[in-house]
Structure formats: structure tokens, C-alpha cells
């Protein structure tokens, strides 16, 4: 796939997106609350979507603002977010993030990637997600799904998510920066899965170079 086919691919994925189970972080982003985007993304790392959704509901009831989060004990946070992956580490980092947001940023989540990266536990994926989905800014969130599918399509040729982000920043038209992650994450969770993707069901298969795809369904 190249930019000549990109509009067609995005158009198809937008239609299919309405039929798919949407990642919880995407649902949260519709509220346009950067703090919710930030915390839900941290909870979602290495955790299944259903587990993240339930954990975030519990977490939000007790930590709806940075100040509420700062005032919680680590044990209270652990209890709320269990059993997300690495919940003990995440609880400590969330507590710290709440404190930093209140004391350094006046309870406001930064809208700048470099500032977000200063928060312990926030990597480029999370920082880009907050900027793009929380603020509608120039961010391209690249997780394993975006990295995998962009390479399978043949749109980029990269070795890791960081290289993919840099390649997409050069090649992907800005009008698609925000939506690209939502579409590809949902597609990667439902159709273009890591092992044995559902190529026979895929309406964008004719545009796909299937790079690295061995067995498929």
C-alpha cells in the first residue's frame, strides 16, 4: 500500500470500525479529558481490553482528578486497578503522576510530548495518545498493532514502534494522524491479529502486501 491507496483504505476502515469492539482508551478519548486518556492508557499497557475497561471504571470512581489520585494510598490504587498487568508498579507510578500533575502542572496534564515523557511510566505511545486524543494535537500513537499492520500493508518498512512513528510522521498525511491509531488498533484486535490474521475476511486485503504474513485464515 502507498499513499495512492491510503484514502481508500482509511475510508474502508472507518466503515468497518463502526462494527468492531472499540478499545477502552478510544472510548475514553471521546470525552476529550486528557487526564482520563492518560490514566486509561497507563492501565491498558500489557492488559486485555476488557480487563482495562473494568479496572478504569473502578479507578475513575476514586481518582477522577489528579488531586484525588494524589491523595490516595498506593494500596487503594492497587485494589482499584487489579488485575491489570503490573498493577503494583502501575499503582506506584499513578500515585506519583498525580502528585507531579498537582504540584508541577497545576493539576493539568501537559499537552506537549516532551513534557509528558518526563512523567515516570509515560513512554512515546502514551504521550502521543494524550496529545492526539486528549488535545487533538499532532501526535501519532504507535503501539504493536499500528507497527505490525503498517508494516504488513507495506506502508512502512521499520523494525520497531519508534521507527514506525518517525516514518509515519514523514509519510502519513496529517489529516489522518489522530484517527490512524484508533482504526489500526481496532483492526489489529479483531481482524489483523498477530498470529494467523483473518485475511479472508479483510476488505482491505487487495491493498495489502502481507509482509511477514505466513499462515492466515
The model's pLDDT over 152-162, given as tens digits with 9 standing for 90+, comes to: 999 999 999 99
pTM of the model: 0.88
Measured distance CA(182)–CA(83) in Å, rounded? 24
Measured distance CA(103)–CA(92) in Å, rounded? 17
Q: Which residues of 175-204 are buried (b: 16+ CB within 10 A; e: fewer)?
A: ebbbbbbbbbbbbbbbbbeeeebebeebeb
CA distances, 121 to each of 89, 95, 102, 155 (Å): 9, 11, 17, 30
pLDDT over 90 at 26, yes or no? no
Of 17-26, 113-122, 181-190, give the lowest mean pLDDT range. Answer: 17-26
How confident is the model over 60-106, as pLDDT tens digits? 999 999 999 999 999 999 999 999 999 999 999 999 999 999 999 99
Measured distance CA(129)–CA(183) in Å, rounded? 13
Query: In angstroms, how far is CA 116 from the centroid of its own chain?
Result: 15
Average pLDDT over residues 15-32: 88
DSSP state at residue 136? -
pLDDT at 128: 95
Cβ neighbour number for residue 174 with a 10 Å cutoff = 9
User: At which residue does the C-alpha cell 504540584 appear?
Assistant: 103
CA distances, 38 to each of 32, 65, 132, 188 (Å): 11, 11, 11, 21
Instruction: Give me the domains of the chain, ranges plus CATH numbers.
Output: 3-20+140-207 (1.10.1670.10), 24-135 (1.10.340.30)
Question: HSE of 33 in the Cβ direction (CA atoms, 13 Å)?
Answer: 13
For residues 39 and 21, the model is more confident at 39
- Structural contact between residues 76 and 87, judged by C-beta atoms closer than 8 angstroms: no
pLDDT at 83: 97
Query: What are the phi and psi torsion angles at 151 (to 5°)?
Result: -75, -40
pLDDT over 90 at 1, yes or no? no
pLDDT over 90 at 32, yes or no? no
Amino acid at each position: 500500500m502507498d499513499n495512492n491507496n491510503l484514502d481508500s483504505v482509511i475510508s474502508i476502515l472507518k466503515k468497518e470500525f463502526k462494527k468492531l469492539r472499540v478499545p477502552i482508551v478510544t472510548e475514553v478519548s471521546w470525552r476529550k479529558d486528557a487526564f482520563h486518556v492518560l490514566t486509561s492508557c497507563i492501565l491498558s499497557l500489557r492488559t486485555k481490553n476488557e480487563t482495562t475497561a473494568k479496572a478504569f471504571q473502578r479507578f475513575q470512581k476514586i481518582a477522577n482528578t489528579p488531586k484525588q489520585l494524589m491523595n490516595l494510598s498506593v494500596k487503594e490504587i492497587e485494589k482499584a486497578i487489579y488485575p491489570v498487568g503490573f498493577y503494583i508498579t502501575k499503582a506506584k507510578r499513578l500515585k506519583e503522576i498525580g502528585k507531579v500533575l498537582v504540584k508541577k502542572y497545576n493539576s493539568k496534564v501537559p499537552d506537549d510530548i516532551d513534557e509528558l515523557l518526563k512523567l515516570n511510566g509515560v513512554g512515546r505511545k502514551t504521550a502521543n495518545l494524550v496529545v492526539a486524543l486528549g488535545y487533538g494535537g499532532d501526535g501519532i500513537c504507535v503501539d504493536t498493532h499500528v507497527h505490525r499492520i503498517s508494516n504488513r500493508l507495506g506502508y512502512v518498512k521499520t523494525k520497531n514502534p519508534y521507527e514506525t512513528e518517525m516514518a509515519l510522521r514523514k509519510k502519513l498525511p496529517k489529516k489522518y494522524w489522530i484517527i490512524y491509531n484508533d482504526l489500526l488498533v481496532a483492526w489489529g484486535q479483531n481482524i489483523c491479529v498477530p498470529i494467523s490474521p483473518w485475511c479472508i475476511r479483510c476488505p482491505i486485503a487487495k491493498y495489502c502486501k502481507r509482509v511477514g504474513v505466513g499462515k492466515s485464515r
